Every structure is written in C-alpha cells, then in structure tokens.
Amino acid sequence: MSELADKLAGRFIVIDGPDGAGKSTQLKLLGEHLRQEGAAVCQTRDPGGTVIGNEIRRLLLDNSHTDMTVGCEILLYMASRTQLMGEVIAPAIERGECVLCDRWVSSTVAYQVAERKADADEVIKAYKLALRDTWPDLTVILDVSAEAGLERLTGPPDRIEAKGLEFHREVRRLFLEQATTNPKGFCVVDASGSVDQTQRRLRKVVETWNWRR
C-alpha cells in the first residue's frame, strides 16, 4: 500500500460543483488513479447509489414534477442520503475503503437555496436530523462558470438543468460561498480547462490535503 493509499483509508470524499463541471468524469478518473496507488475505493453518487435512492433520484429529476415544493425536494434528498450512508458509505468506511461520492449535501445547499425558497440553515438542520454529524472529510468543488457548464451538457436537460442561466449562476455562487466559509472541509478546483488539466489539479488536492484535520 502506498503512503497516499494509507492516508485515504476510511476517508469520505465528495466531488461536487455546478452542472457541466465534469464531476462524474473526474470522480471516475480519480478512482482509477487511487486504485493504481493501492487504495481500496468505493464510488457512489447522490442522490441514488442504492435501489431506494435510485427511485428517489428518478422522482427528483423527472421533468413532469414541476410542482414539487422545495421542502419535498430537501426531504427526498435527505432520505436518499440516509439510505446511501447506511447501506453503502458507512460500511465502506468501516472496511477501510476511500469513498468517492458524486454530490452530497453541498449540492442541496447550492441548488435549493438558489431557488430562494429555503436557506442554508434549514438545509443543514434537515441534514443533521437525517444523518446527525456524519460529514465528508473533504468536499471538492469543481468550479466552472454557469455559461461554460451549461454549454457542456448533452442531451435533453433534466428538471434541475432546465432552470435557466441566472439560476445556475446563483448555484455556482453558493458553492463557492460554502468553500469560503469552511476552508477546512472544502477545496475549490478550477474545472474550466481540459479533462486532463482538471484531473491533475484534483489529484494534487487529494495528495496534498491535510488529512489530520
């Protein structure tokens, strides 16, 4: 086992950021790299990652559910996370694996608060009710402008992606605000360049992060 693999054993890392930032691609590449370094890696996504969570994900992203209230959205996200934590994340951490998760509560703070129907404190209270004080060891925000991120999207937009440019600008601002207010738990990585450039930046963060915090 490499020194890096030893540092990452039992760690919970979230890759998050605006739509079009390349989260899924970067998480996959990072997972491959960490395995080459000898780490045991568990990759998952939020919402989803379990049979129950995938059903919740389908409800959340369905374009026909335009009347869904923000309270309903928040509680559905927390329900999916609770199941994912109990069924996948916590057991993987106990086995000494490094968990890489595509999105987490940082997304709910950004997207649901951007709709101006909830505030961050309400989201965090719901999170603590569902998951107590189980937080990621590190949340990496892949940062890209709203314009560039939306241009990268392919296929028909889901219910969240279709909300418009100003909404996505506010989402990006709220992601960056979280990183500014919690520098011990968050790091921002410039994702405006190529896939390879972003991956190199992401690996550097993971390799040099102070994991003793």
pTM given for the model: 0.94
79: its two tokens: 């329900």
Rounded average pLDDT per 10-residue block, the chain, 213 residues = 92 97 97 97 97 96 86 93 98 98 97 85 94 94 96 86 91 97 97 98 97 73
Q: Does domain 3-208 have CATH number 3.40.50.300?
A: yes
As a residue count, the chain comes to 213
pLDDT, tens digit, 9 for 90 and up, residues 14-56: 999 999 999 999 999 999 999 999 999 999 999 999 999 999 9
Which residues on neighbouring strands pair with residue 98, listed in sequence order? 41
What confidence score (pLDDT) does residue 65 get?
85
Cα–Cα dist 10/3, whole Å: 14
Backbone angles phi, psi at 71, to 5 degrees: -65, -40
Answer yes or no: are the C-beta atoms of 59 and 76 closer than 8 Å.
yes
